[in-house]
C-alpha cells in the first residue's frame, strides 16, 4: 500500500523502472489474452492442448512463493541481485543493502499476537476511516484516514483514546516491531543496531470499496526506495487470511519473467530490500477485509523515528479491551 506517491523525474533509472512496470502490464495483458484463447479452445473441445498451454503459461507468468495453507517454521528466502538504486544514497556500512532479496516467515509473530494487533487496528480504525477502500492508522505520527483526508488521532480523538488503546497494546506493537527488525538483520547479515525504524509505518485496512482519492489506489506497481527515499528494508505483517477473510489482496513481486505472489496469513511476516529489484504491487481486494501492518526500516539515522507510546493520561485499566 502506498500512502503518498511522488513524481519520478525522467532519468535513466526512472526509465528502467517504467520499463519494468510496462513489462508487468504486458504480462497481465498476455494473461487476459491467454484466458480468451483457453475459452475458445475449450469450446472447440481441444482439452489436452488447453491444459498444456494453461499450465505452461501460468508457470511463465505467475508463481506462488508461499501459499496461505503453508506454515513456515523457518524463513523462506529468495535472493535477487541488488539494483543500482542504493548507489544514489549515502552508504552505511553494516546496513546498506549489498545482499538483496525477499523472505517470508511464520515464526516471528504468533497467531494470538496477530489477533491482538488486529483488534488494536479495528478499534483505532473504528474511529474514522477512508471513503475509499483503503484506510490507514499510523501510531507514530497519529495519522488516521477520515473521509478523503487524514486527521491526527492524538489531537482529534484525544478524549476518546482512553477507551480505545491500552499501554499493553503499545508494548506488544513495540515488541513485534523489534522482532521483525531482528529477523531482517539475521536474514540479510546486517547489524540490527544500524537499522532504524522509519516512516511511514502503519496499519492498513483494505476492502473492495472503490477508490475515492489517490490515497486509496494501493494497487499500483511501485518501488519503495523510489517512492519514499528513506526505505532500505520493507516488511509486512499480515493480520488476516487470504481466501478465508478476503479475496484478492495478494502481494505481488513483479519480476522480469513472471509475477511472484505471497498469500497473506495472520501472523505471517514478508520482508524485502526496498530497491527496484523488488518492484511490487498489491492485488485489488475483491471481497472481505484485509488487515496488515507495514513496518519500514532505514539505514540513515536522519530518517529514524521513535517507537510510538500512549499519550500520558490515556491509559486504560488492563484487560478492559477483552
Of the residues 28, 179, 290, 316, only one is catalytic, namely: 290
Which cell goes with 284? 485489488
**Residue 155 bears catalytic tag:** no
Alpha helices in 62-146 (DSSP H): 111-125
Which cell goes with 227? 517512492
**Torsion sign, CA atoms 151, 154, 160, 166:** positive
Alpha-carbon span 134 to 285, nearest angstrom:
10
| 111-125 vs 167-188: helix crossing angle, rounded to 10 | 130
| 12-43 vs 47-61: helix crossing angle, rounded to 10 | 160
Q: Are 63 and 260 in contact (CB under 8 A)?
A: yes
Q: Which residues are catalytic?
A: 290
Amino acid at each position: 500500500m502506498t500512502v503518498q506517491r511522488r513524481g519520478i523525474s525522467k532519468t535513466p533509472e526512472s526509465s528502467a523502472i517504467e520499463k519494468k512496470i510496462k513489462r508487468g502490464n504486458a504480462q497481465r495483458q498476455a494473461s487476459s489474452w491467454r484466458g480468451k484463447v483457453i475459452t475458445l479452445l475449450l469450446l472447440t473441445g481441444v482439452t489436452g492442448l488447453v491444459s498444456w498451454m494453461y499450465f505452461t503459461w501460468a508457470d511463465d507468468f505467475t508463481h506462488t512463493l508461499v501459499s496461505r495453507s503453508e506454515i513456515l517454521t523457518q524463513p523462506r528466502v529468495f535472493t535477487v541481485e541488488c539494483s543500482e538504486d542504493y548507489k544514489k544514497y549515502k552508504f552505511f556500512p553494516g546496513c546498506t543493502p549489498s545482499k538483496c532479496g525477499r523472505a517470508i516467515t511464520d515464526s516471528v509473530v504468533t497467531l494470538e499476537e496477530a489477533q491482538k494487533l488486529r483488534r488494536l487496528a479495528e478499534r483505532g480504525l473504528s474511529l474514522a476511516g477512508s471513503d475509499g477502500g483503503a484506510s490507514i492508522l499510523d501510531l507514530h505520527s497519529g495519522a488516521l484516514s477520515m473521509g478523503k483526508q487524514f486527521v491526527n488521532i492524538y489531537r482529534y480523538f484525544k478524549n476518546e483514546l482512553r477507551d480505545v488503546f491500552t499501554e499493553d497494546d503499545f508494548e506488544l506493537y513495540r515488541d513485534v516491531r523489534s522482532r521483525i527488525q531482528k529477523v531482517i538483520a539475521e536474514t540479510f547479515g546486517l547489524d540490527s543496531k544500524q537499522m532504524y525504524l522509519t516512516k511511514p509505518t502503519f496499519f492498513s485496512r483494505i476492502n473492495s470499496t472503490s477508490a475515492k482519492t489517490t490515497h486509496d489506489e494501493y494497487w499500483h506497481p511501485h518501488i519503495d526506495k523510489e517512492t519514499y527515499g528513506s526505505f532500505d528494508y520493507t516488511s509486512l505483517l499480515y493480520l488476516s487470511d487470504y481466501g478465508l477473510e478476503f479475496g484478492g489482496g495478494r502481494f505481488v513481486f513483479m519480476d522480469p519473467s513472471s509475477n511472484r505472489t505471497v498469500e497473506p496469513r495472520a501472523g505471517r511476516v514478508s520482508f524485502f530490500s526496498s530497491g527496484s529489484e523488488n518492484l511490487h504491487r498489491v492485488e485489488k481486494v475483491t471481497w472481505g477485509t484485509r488487515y496488515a501492518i507495514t513496518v519500514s526500516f532505514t539505514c540513515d539515522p536522519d530518517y529514524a523515528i521513535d517507537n510510538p507510546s500512549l499519550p500520558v493520561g490515556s491509559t486504560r485499566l488492563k484487560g478492559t479491551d477483552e
